[in-house]
Every structure is written in C-alpha cells, then in structure tokens.
C-alpha cells in the first residue's frame, strides 16, 4: 500500500462486512504453537501483522497455508525457538510468542518488540509473570533470552491489567504443571476469544473475560477448527468514518455486544443507530456534537485503539471537547497532522482539548502509526478537497482493505 488519497465531502451510504479481529488473531496464532498438530482458523484477516506472524510461525518450523480467509497451521515440527528481528521488530505483538514457546519448548529468544511508536509499553509485566512461573530471563544484544526446565503454575497478580501480559501468562500456563491463577487480568474480548480457542483444543481455563482467570495445566492439546470473531476496532473505525463524512451505513458481522462504550459515545455525538443481531445501522447527524470528556480505559471502557479516530471526528464537532488518554502516552502523534488540516487541538500532558471547526482542508499528511493512519482517512472524508496520506503502510497492519470497504460505501479513496 502506497500513499492514499481521499476526496472529502462525499457522504457514505451502503453496507460493509467487518473482517476478523486482528487483536484476537495474533495471540491465537501464537497459541497454535502449543499443539503438536493441526489448527485451522477461519475468518482470519489478511493484514500485515498476520502475515508477519505467519512468517514467525514458519521460521519456528510450522507449515502454514492460506485457504481463502482460513489459515491451516501444522506445528508438529518445531525446531527453532529464536525469533529473528526481521519480523518481530515490526510489531509489538511478537512478544506473545514468549509464553507459547516457553509452554511448548521450555525456551525462547525474542527480540525487543517493535510496531507502532505510540508509547513505551514496557514488557516488565510479561517478564515478571514468566519469572513467577520458574522462567530464568536474561537480556543480551537486544534479545530476551528465557528458559525453564518446567513451567509451574502459581498465583500471579498483574500490577496493571495488561492485555499482552495476560495473554502471555495464559499461553505459558496451559501446559504448565499445576494451576495458575491470574489476578487483575485484562478483560478485553480478545482474552476471552483466546481462552475459547484453547479450551476447544482441550485446555482447562475458567474465568475468561473476568479479572480472575484460572488455568489448570494439561499434558497436551488436540486438533481443532475455530471461527474468529469480528474486529470491534475496525467496526468502530467505519462508524467514525460515517460520522465524519455524513450519510447512513450498515455494518454486517459487527460484534455489537463488545462495543458498548464506543456506541454510547457515538450516540452522545448525535448518531442515530439501530441494531439487529450482528448488524449496526448508523445515520450520521449533519454535524457531530462535542463531548465534555472521554477517557480511554481498559475494557469495558472506551478503547485506546479508537481514540485517534474519535479525535478526527471531534475536530469538526460543534463546541469544545476533551479526551484523556490513559493507556499509551504517544497516542497524540496524529495531532500535528490534523493541525495541518486546520484542526484546533491543544495537548496538555495526556489531555487533548479540541475546539471544533466548521471544516478541515485537505492537504498532504503522514501516518505515524496504525490507528492514527486510519484516523487521517477519517479526517480526509470530512474535509474539503483532497487529502494525501503518506506512509500509509501502517494502516495495512490492521485493516484488510480499508480503501475497498470505503469505496463500497461510496467514498472516493485509493
């Protein structure tokens, strides 16, 4: 994906189907390493982060092939527990292989993770959990070296409900000796989806989706087929796109029950919505209303992965709005780009104060990370003239075909 150009001022109309979940797919792909057999994952999004994860699996010794939007993984012959930096440093989620490689092989060598530059995101929570389970960890030449003769279940209190640390601990605990109890666990739907995948393979996990998860170690797992849930962040992105451009759209295969916080915010901005099973219909107001304050929080709060998209919409809302970012300190990298388009935004520490303007002006902007890149498309849809988004490869990390989906809704984008 090269540069993306967006012609603004065209309302969106029609239906679009939501892809499989990125944030669920990545840990589930890592989890496939735990089983010396076959895992088939349906509705898997063909995005850059998944492609990089597939290369890591192949590097480890897995046989992996695509069959339309299904991935077939055979992990019977794992020979390599060292992940090269070629793929791992391109995405933060590579650290999730720490738990699965330790669980399967008892050792792992992983580069310090990369991905989007939205914050420090320290992995000490992950490493502390592994050490509590008997793992010896050292750092050498930008690599994390981990080894354990036998992982042992224990009680682990996470100091913050980190999604990645929760997932890593679950992956390490599935084949460990004894019972592992994770307290202050992350409650995101992607955690429950990982546990559902593992339980269908024969794991014994209770409490998925709650702050206390109990994993009773088993000796082995079994072959399975699994249908991945839809992506709540992609769904939210497209709803924000309609709020920016105007119009009326319908999302099919939308994970409605996982989107309570974002749907509440959309209603407060003046959206009219109807729900039917897994469909969401949204009719945008002439101009969005301002929001007194929105704070990003761990699930079930408003997701940090939709903060940039919301910010793009609020740039043209009536009145003043405020956003407080509580998860990642680098989420406001999009602000200088939005200012180029005429947005009035003031940043004070982790708080964004937005004064809505009548219109934004299309211009050349640059994506700095995944969700901010998608937010620039949203801003362009509601702007006058043409917006050109450079470094748009970031967007491919999480969106299967955002340009094609928006064209289906009538946007002029490509």
Q: Which residues are catalytic?
A: 116
**DSSP result, 172-239:** HHTTSBSEEEEES----HHHHHHHHHHHHTT-EEE-TTSSEEEEE--S----EEEEPPB-HHHHHHHH
Q: Distance (Å, rounded) from C-alpha 91 to C-alpha 334?
A: 19
Q: How many CB atoms lie within 10 A of CB 308?
A: 30
How many other C-beta atoms lie within 10 A of the C-beta of residue 92? 19
Q: How many CB atoms lie within 10 A of CB 331?
A: 25
Query: C-alpha distances in angstroms, 210 versus 163, 221, 342, 345, 399?
Result: 12, 24, 43, 37, 28
Report the alpha-carbon distance of residue 202 to residue 353 in Å, rounded.
49
C-alpha to C-alpha distance for 168 and 173, rounded to whole angstroms: 9
Contact 305, 372 (CB under 8 A): no
Of 379, 345, 373, residue with least CA distance to 359: 379
Reduce the DSSP state of residue 71 to 3 states and report it.
Answer: strand
Q: What is 292-339 written as a DSSP string?
A: S-EEB-STTSB-GGGHHHHHHHHTTSBSEEEEE--S-TTGGGGHHHHH
């Amino acid at each position: 994906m090269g540069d993306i150009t967006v012609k603004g001022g065209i309302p969106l109309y029609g239906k679009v189907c939501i892809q499989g979940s990125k944030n669920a797919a990545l840990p589930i792909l890592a989890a496939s390493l735990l089983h010396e057999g076959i895992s088939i994952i349906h509705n898997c999004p063909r995005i850059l982060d998944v492609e990089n994860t597939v290369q890591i699996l192949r590097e480890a010794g897995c046989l992996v092939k695509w069959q339309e939007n299904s991935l077939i993984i055979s992990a019977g012959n794992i020979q390599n527990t060292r992940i090269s930096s070629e793929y791992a440093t391109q995405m933060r989620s590579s650290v999730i292989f720490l738990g699965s490689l330790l669980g399967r092989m008892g050792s792992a060598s992983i580069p310090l993770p990369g991905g989007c530059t939205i914050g420090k995101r320290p992995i000490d929570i992950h490493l502390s959990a592994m050490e509590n389970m008997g793992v010896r960890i050292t750092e050498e030449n930008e690599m994390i070296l981990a080894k354990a003769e036998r992982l042992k279940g224990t009680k682990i209190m996470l100091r913050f409900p980190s999604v990645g640390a929760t997932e890593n601990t679950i992956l390490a605990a599935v084949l460990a000796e004894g019972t592992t109890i994770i307290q202050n666990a992350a409650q995101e739907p992607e955690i429950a989806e990982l546990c559902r995948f593992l339980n269908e393979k024969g794991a014994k996990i209770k409490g998925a989706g709650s702050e206390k998860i109990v994993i009773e170690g088993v000796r082995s797992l079994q072959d399975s087929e699994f249908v991945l849930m839809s992506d709540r962040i992609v769904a939210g992105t497209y709803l924000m796109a309609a709020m920016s451009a105007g119009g009326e759209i319908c999302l099919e295969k939308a994970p409605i029950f996982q989107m309570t916080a974002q749907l509440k915010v959309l209603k407060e901005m003046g959206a009219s919505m109807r729900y039917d099973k897994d469909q969401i219909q949204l009719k945008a107001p002439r101009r969005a209303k301002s929001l007194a304050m929105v704070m990003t929080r761990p699930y079930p709060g408003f997701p940090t992965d939709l903060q940039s998209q919301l910010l793009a919409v609020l740039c043209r809302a009536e009145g003043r709005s405020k956003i407080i970012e509580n998860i990642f300190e680098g989420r406001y990298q999009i602000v200088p780009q939005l200012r180029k388009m005429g947005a009035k935004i003031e940043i004070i520490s982790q708080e964004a104060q937005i004064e809505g303007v009548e219109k934004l002006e299309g211009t050349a902007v640059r994506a700095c990370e995944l969700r901010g890149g998608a937010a620039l498309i949203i801003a362009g849809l509601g702007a006058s003239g043409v917006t050109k988004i450079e470094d748009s490869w970031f967007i491919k990390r999480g969106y299967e075909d955002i340009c094609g989906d928006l064209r289906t809704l009538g946007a002029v984008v490509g």
